[in-house]
């Protein structure tokens, strides 16, 4: 055994210390830790996959499980623990429950070294099998939840880097729960406004009667209940970024005030005639089709073009081929502190069910299902049932009319671009639409020329 596999020996005491020379001679790279902090440091700095610890003759103390959990948290899915204890301790329910919860195996003292070494080898192999794939730097951004290796997400990361380098307005489009606010934060933190305020406002959640006061602020006594001057969201974002989520829900009568701010860079508090200059970048987001809202006279066309200077489209989870399993494993690790030590990951049936599910609730639905499964799972692997996904998820789902229409548009655009040698003008002519309309549809469906 010359590969020097890593072994964490946690708090070796008394007779257990006599095993150290045996372990070293057998080729184990032994790291001794006397405290939980030392153990955490060892796990963080080395590729340890097996842990060995004696359960002292004094019996499990009140904080034994807490100490083991604090040690195991940094790499709970990649470290298998083996306990050493006196044989008579197995008569204790406390010992038995502790071993069942935290340990791959146990050995009684004095240890049968040959058997122990075999057990350590088995534990090492099991840890390698159960260890989740590492989420590499290329697989995620700096923001929690912004994880993905699919082509659509790589396009998002590239777009974020580009639009962050300039100071123009940005419009982020996509279905609900596709992490549009995270994308806005990523843009802000990569811009020259990083370190300044980032103010997020959900326009759809503001009462219609208070939208103007909330956005622009008001003076004392300007209306009933205005007992003092209030700074609005726009003014609070001075020097930084104002994120207007669900901009499509902004009342039509107030859109002109936002347009004036984008044109002039000034605002007026309710009840004041004074114009205040505010330097704030606007990033807006919407789940609705603003082109259609403009056609239906529900959204001002001039405001739309002021907001849509730069665009980022957040793809739906069902469009992100290969990202579901990656995200599931990422959030399984993200919620590590909420799970039992022996919970190892997902069963193959659960992974298959997740890949077949349509995820109408997008990333937020995946987060909720994984978090609930972590709490409810009673075995070592999360099942499809724990995720609330039944057999019907394995069957091919029926597309909605909207999805069929979108797929048909996408396929037609790609076919036309292919036949025209990626000439947008020729492709638009063959489709019977204007070049501007084709560009808009290409942006909508994430089709590159």
Enumerate residues 6+ apart whose C-beta is below 8 A from 137: none
pLDDT of residue 141: 42
pLDDT of residue 392: 52
Tell me where in the chain the CATH 3.40.50.300 domain(s) lie: 151-313
Other beta carbons less than 10 A from residue 49's beta carbon: 22
Model pLDDT for residues 108-144, shown as the tens digit of each residue: 888 888 889 988 888 887 777 665 544 444 344 444 4
The two structure tokens encoding residue 328: 């599931």
Can you spell out the DSSP letters for 125-153?
A: HHHHHHPPPP--GGGB-SSTT-B--SHHH
pLDDT of residue 22: 87
Other beta carbons less than 10 A from residue 37's beta carbon: 11
Domain 321-393, classified CATH 1.10.10.60, yes or no: no
CA 250 to each of CA 71, 201, 303, 332: distance values in angstroms, whole numbers, following the listed order:
50, 11, 11, 37
pLDDT of residue 251: 87
Class of domain 5-130: alpha beta
CA 226 to each of CA 222, 257, 371: distance values in angstroms, whole numbers, following the listed order:
6, 20, 43
Tell me where in the chain the CATH 1.10.10 domain(s) lie: 401-444
CA distance 55 to 117: 18
Model pLDDT for residues 349-374, shown as the tens digit of each residue: 898 899 889 899 999 999 999 999 99
pLDDT of residue 146: 76
Class of domain 151-313: alpha beta
Class of domain 401-444: mainly alpha
Model pLDDT for residues 419-441, shown as the tens digit of each residue: 887 888 888 888 888 888 888 88
CA distance 130 to 380: 10
3-state helix, strand, coil in the chain (%, to 5): 50, 15, 35
pLDDT of residue 2: 41
Most distant pair of Cα atoms in the chain: their distance: 87
pLDDT of residue 168: 94
The label of the residue with tokens 């777009």 reads 159
Tell me where in the chain the CATH 1.10.8.60 domain(s) lie: 321-393
Give the residue ranges of the chain where pLDDT is below 50. Answer: 1-2, 57-62, 72-77, 133-144, 393-396
CA 141 to each of CA 63, 86, 146, 358: distance values in angstroms, whole numbers, following the listed order:
37, 49, 6, 24
pLDDT of residue 306: 94
CA distance 9 to 112: 17
CA 140 to each of CA 127, 144, 154, 194, 324: distance values in angstroms, whole numbers, following the listed order:
24, 8, 9, 20, 13
Radius of gyration of the chain (CA): 29
Enumerate residues 6+ apart whose C-beta is below 8 A from 113: 19, 22
């Amino acid at each position: 055994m010359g590969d020097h596999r890593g072994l964490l020996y946690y708090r070796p005491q008394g007779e257990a210390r006599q095993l150290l020379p045996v372990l070293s001679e057998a080729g184990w790279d032994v790291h001794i830790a006397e405290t939980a902090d030392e153990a955490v440091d060892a796990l963080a700095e080395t590729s340890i996959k097996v842990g060995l610890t004696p359960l002292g003759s004094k019996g499990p103390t009140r904080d034994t499980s807490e100490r083991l959990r604090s040690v195991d948290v940094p790499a709970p899915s990649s470290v298998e623990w083996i306990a050493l204890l006196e044989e008579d301790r197995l008569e204790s329910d406390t010992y038995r429950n502790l071993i069942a919860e935290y340990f791959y195996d146990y050995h009684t003292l004095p240890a049968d070294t040959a058997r122990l070494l075999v057990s350590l080898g088995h534990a090492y192999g099991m840890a390698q099998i159960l260890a989740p794939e590492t989420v590499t730097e290329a697989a995620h951004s700096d923001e929690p939840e912004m994880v993905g290796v699919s082509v659509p997400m790589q396009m998002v990361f590239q777009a974020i880097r580009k639009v962050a380098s300039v100071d123009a307005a940005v419009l982020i489009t996509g279905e609900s729960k596709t992490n549009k606010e995270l994308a806005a934060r990523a843009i802000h933190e990569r811009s020259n406004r990083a370190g300044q305020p980032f103010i997020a406002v959900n326009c759809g959640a503001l009462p219609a009667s208070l939208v103007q006061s909330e956005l622009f602020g008001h003076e004392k006594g300007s209306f009933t209940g205005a007992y003092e001057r209030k700074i609005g969201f726009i003014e609070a974002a001075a020097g930084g970024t104002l994120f207007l989520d669900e901009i499509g829900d902004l009342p039509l009568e107030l859109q002109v005030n936002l347009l004036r701010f984008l044109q002039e860079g000034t605002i007026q508090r309710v009840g004041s005639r004074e114009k205040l200059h505010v330097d704030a970048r606007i990033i807006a987001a919407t789940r609705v089709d603003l082109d259609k809202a403009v056609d239906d006279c529900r959204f001002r066309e001039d405001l739309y073009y002021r907001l849509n200077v730069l665009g980022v489209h957040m793809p739906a989870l069902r469009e992100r081929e290969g990202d579901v399993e990656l995200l599931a494993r990422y959030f399984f690790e993200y919620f590590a502190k909420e799970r039992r030590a022996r919970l190892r990951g997902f069963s193959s049936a659960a992974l298959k069910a997740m890949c077949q599910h349509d995820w109408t609730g997008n990333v937020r639905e995946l987060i909720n299902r994984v978090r609930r499964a972590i709490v409810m799972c009673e075995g070592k692997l999360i099942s499809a049932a724990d995720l609330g996904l039944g057999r019907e998820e394995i069957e091919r789902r029926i597309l909605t009319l909207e999805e069929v229409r979108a797929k048909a548009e996408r396929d037609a655009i790609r076919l036309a671009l292919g036949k025209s040698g990626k000439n947008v003008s020729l492709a638009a002519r063959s489709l019977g639409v204007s070049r501007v309309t084709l560009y808009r549809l290409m942006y909508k469906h994430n089709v590159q020329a």
